[in-house]
Amino acid sequence: MSCFSRSWTASQRIESQLLQTQIALADESIKLEQSRALPVVGADGSLGFTPAANDIGNIFQGEDGGPFRTSE
């Protein structure tokens, strides 16, 4: 059986597969650009610490030497 006697469909050709991949990448690129126009929600926070602590147990101590507390 000769390799030239096979019947190939268009979807099996490498050019067609390459084109499909390029189309999929272009679609994803469009989605990315559209999403950049949407508002962004973010969260930010900070944690106070004593940089001069010489023991791991003292890292989260307040300026008065006691642990940080929330307002009551």
Q: Torsion-angle region of residue 16: left (phi > 0), alpha (psi -120 to 50) or beta? A: alpha
Of 68, 69, 49, 67, the C-alpha closest to 59 is 49
pLDDT tens-digit map of 10-55: 778 889 999 999 999 999 999 999 999 988 888 877 766 555 667 7
Of 45, 69, 47, the C-alpha closest to 59 is 47
pTM above 0.75, yes or no: no
